[in-house]
Amino acid sequence: MARSASIDEDRVKALAATFSGALLRSGDDGYEEARRVHNGLIDKRPALIARCLETADIVEAIGLARGSGLEISVRGGGHNVAGRAVTNGGLMIDLSLMKGIYVDPKARTVRAQGGVTWREFDRATAVHGLATTGGVISTTGIAGLTLGGGLGFLMGKHGLAVDNLLSVELVTAAGEVLNASAGEHPDLFWALRGGGGNFGVAASFEYRLHPLKQVVGGLVAHPFPAAKDVLRFYRGFTQSVPDELAVFAGLVHAPDGSGVPLAAFVICHAGSVEQAEEDLKPLLGFGSPAMVQVGPMPYPAVNVMLNAGFPKGALNYWKSSFVRALDDKAIDVMVDRFADSPSPMSGIVIEHFHGAVTRVGVSDTAVPHREPGYNLVLTSVWMDPATTEKNIAWTRATYDVMAPHLLKKRYVNYLGDDEAAEAVRAAYGPNYARLAQIKRQYDPNNFFRLNHNIQPAAA
């Protein structure tokens, strides 16, 4: 809830006189659209939405919230399932109109503002034959995904998004504009590489880019009766894949609306076509797939493959943890539980960690999850609000049944809105104490708390 039910009108008038973007309240044109995020389950009403166009707007919006005692939320792409981008009764700082992207092809770097989505980012960098690790769903914003770590198809070859982050322009709770990098405010830069929105509002990000004109990617789907054999094959196949090859496995429903259950592979190979053909032979030769759609394509095309399964406005409730071992018992539980899924849009996804992402030290960034292995994601998605209780219950029950097969390690970007403080600690493991110290330095009063919150360390 907000700290205060009222807004200082004089402060709002003063802000409106200089604000470059739009200030929206309930009833204003654009308010309803601006308050809605990707997850249709989130239905909150900010007292004021500050739609920023530049860094100065962020500074002034923070000043208004601080001076009025308002709870603050920050929206980038608005894709995070937990819906923490929207405050109920406070001030939402909306960056979604901040779309500036500047690519330096010689330096192989890019600077992008906090409202950019991965689809926009990939399009701008692909013009120069360059790319970096980004979201698996291209409608995801770069800001939230990066600040939480940044899993993606290129993490085996190039690491997480944070492993390619060079600097962040950040507006702090005090309204200061800082450039955090390895050379400036290095402790803050360390914290921003995985610590989420706990330390300020990220106005823009600078990334390292890598040459990449095309990949070999696509989907392979097997009939559901073969699901247990498919996942066992996946377990063995992923023990020795090269850095260039990312393969995620999933129990999913056919995207044609029929609801037919399938066991599928999602593939992205960032090496040569010849290498991809050789590396993919065992996978493409396995079993009797119902569908094979794999071939050369531009990298941005891979990042839109799964978009249709996660439409804006659909209701979402996810649970996720790293897997202790992808053994036969765990596979049996996944397949048996998926057969009872109440929604033809839901899935059980397994993300493989290997390669470059596992060659970074546990405490080199705030993201501690650097061991080879698998992350499990229960992606419950449905359209009918009347089935909400049933879908949430299935997700929670499936997660509980899977609990003996899971580690106490969580990826912060997949945490839900109802996760307890222990989940946040599990997301940061041995790095939590240092994050809490840095939080105390840059946000001692926990001004930025409508997030998966890191409490400031005691003085």
If asked whether residues 109 and 242 sit together in one domain, one would say no
| Range of weakest confidence among 99-113, 247-261, 360-374 | 247-261
pLDDT band at 22 (very low <50, low <70, confident <90, very high): very high
Residue 341 lies in a domain: yes
The whole-chain average pLDDT of the chain stands at 95
- Residues 310-345 have pLDDT tens digits of 999 999 999 999 999 999 999 999 999 999 999 999
CB 362 within 8 A of CB 308: no
Q: Domain of residue 83: give its range.
A: 9-94
CATH code of the domain in which 233 resides: 3.40.462.20
Residue 449 lies in a domain: no
How large a percentage of the chain has pLDDT more than 90?
A: 92
CB 395 within 8 A of CB 193: no
Q: What is the pLDDT of residue 257?
A: 74
- Residues 392-436 have pLDDT tens digits of 999 999 999 999 999 999 999 999 888 878 999 999 999 999 999
If asked whether residues 271 and 312 sit together in one domain, one would say yes
Q: What is the pLDDT of residue 104?
A: 98
Q: What is the pLDDT of residue 258?
A: 82
Residue 421 lies in a domain: no
Beta strands in 18-67 (DSSP E): 22-24, 48-51
How confident is the model over 284-307, as a mean pLDDT? 95
If asked whether residues 234 and 382 sit together in one domain, one would say yes
If asked whether residues 130 and 242 sit together in one domain, one would say no
If asked whether residues 79 and 167 sit together in one domain, one would say no
Kindly give the interhelix angle for 55-68 and 9-18, rounded to the nearest 10 degrees.
Answer: 170
If asked whether residues 263 and 366 sit together in one domain, one would say yes
Identify the CA nearest to 219 among candidates 263, 156, 275, 170: 263
If asked whether residues 83 and 105 sit together in one domain, one would say no
- Residues 69-126 have pLDDT tens digits of 999 999 999 999 999 999 999 999 999 999 999 999 999 999 999 999 999 999 999 9
Rounded CA separation 109/423 (Å): 34
Q: What is the pLDDT of residue 128?
A: 98
Domain boundary among 78, 94, 110: 94
b/e 49-68 (16+ beta carbons within 10 angstroms → b): bbbbbebebbbbbbebbbeb
CB 263 within 8 A of CB 222: yes
Residue 401 lies in a domain: yes
Whether the pLDDT of residue 2 is over 60: the answer is no
pLDDT band at 4 (very low <50, low <70, confident <90, very high): very low
- pTM summary value: 0.95
DSSP secondary structure code for residue 26 in this structure: T
Q: What is the pLDDT of residue 417?
A: 83
pLDDT band at 1 (very low <50, low <70, confident <90, very high): very low
Residue 252 lies in a domain: yes
Whether the pLDDT of residue 5 is over 70: the answer is no
Structure tokens at 59: 């500074």
| Per-position DSSP letters for 169-195, written without gaps between them | EEE-TTS-EEEEESSSSHHHHHHHTTS
Residue 107 lies in a domain: yes
CATH code of the domain in which 27 resides: 3.30.43.10
CATH code of the domain in which 160 resides: 3.30.465.10
Domain count, the chain: 3
| Range of weakest confidence among 64-68, 281-285, 291-295 | 64-68
CA atoms within 13 A on the CB side of 279: 23
If asked whether residues 253 and 383 sit together in one domain, one would say yes
Coil, helix or strand for 457? coil
Q: What is the pLDDT of residue 9?
A: 85
Rounded CA separation 141/119 (Å): 9
Residue 169 lies in a domain: yes
If asked whether residues 331 and 367 sit together in one domain, one would say yes
Residue 301 lies in a domain: yes
Whether the pLDDT of residue 13 is over 70: the answer is yes
How confident is the model over 270-275, as a mean pLDDT? 97
CB 3 within 8 A of CB 90: yes
Coil, helix or strand for 284? helix
Q: Output the CA torsion sign for 222, 156, 406, 396.
A: negative
H or E, element range at 337: helix 328-338
If asked whether residues 184 and 307 sit together in one domain, one would say no
If asked whether residues 245 and 296 sit together in one domain, one would say yes
Whether the pLDDT of residue 3 is over 50: the answer is no
Kindly give the interhelix angle for 388-402 and 328-338, rounded to the nearest 10 degrees.
Answer: 170
- Residues 190-199 have pLDDT tens digits of 999 999 999 9
If asked whether residues 55 and 126 sit together in one domain, one would say no
